[in-house]
Amino acid sequence: MSNQRQFCTFLLDGLFFGVEVHKVQEVIRYQEMTRVPLASQVIQGLINLRGQIVTAIDLRHRLELRQRPQGVQPMNVVVRTDDGPTSLLVDSIGDVLEVSDELFERPPETLRGVARELIRGAYKLRDRLLLVLDVDRTVQLSAARST
């Protein structure tokens, strides 16, 4: 019998991503942010989450995707990391999906650049691929380019 895994899913530039449910603290609507002078462009800013200061990472920029269209507000997927919560800014939130390990494959060959390093693999679903984001690597900003 195969193992089942649960993923919190979201869309980013038309791509379908998932992070393991146990890594997700919460999902919240857009929050006003405070810019961080001289920070990497990957860091969109800081948000106040019930008194806790949380770094918000622009996932489009981190994965070297196109910029979010003007006037479109992202959603926050707040993930748990060793350094505390971090917000990943995504286009829209999907559902929690349970998938079988039998459907898992290595990252698609079409992935290039930093995305190849940050995506663990993909689950072949009936109508699309679920790209599994490596949360720990994604939030390691020392590895992110400062441009």
How far CA 46 is from CA of 25, 36, 38, 81, in Å, comes to: 17, 7, 13, 16
Backbone angles phi, psi at 10, to 5 degrees: -155, 160
Q: Hunting for tokens 């650049």 — which residue is that? A: 113
- For residues 134-144, give the mean pLDDT: 80
User: How would DSSP label each residue in 67-113?
Assistant: PPPTTPPPEEEEE--TTS-EEEEESEEEEEEEEEGGGEEPPPTT--H
pLDDT digits (tens, 9 = 90+) for 11-57: 999 999 999 999 999 999 999 999 999 888 899 999 999 999 999 99
- Per-residue confidence at 142, pLDDT binned at 50, 70, 90? low
- Angle among Cα 59, 103, 64 to the nearest 5 degrees reads 20
Beta carbons within 8 Å of 131's beta carbon, 6+ residues apart? 15, 16, 17, 18, 107, 119, 122
Residue type, 127: D
Instruction: Give yes or no for residue 146 having a pLDDT over 60.
Output: no
Instruction: Give yes or no for residue 83 having a pLDDT over 50.
Output: yes
The reported pTM is 0.90
- Per-residue confidence at 2, pLDDT binned at 50, 70, 90? low
3-state secondary structure of 21: helix
Domains, the chain, in order of start with CATH, read 4-141 (2.40.50.180)
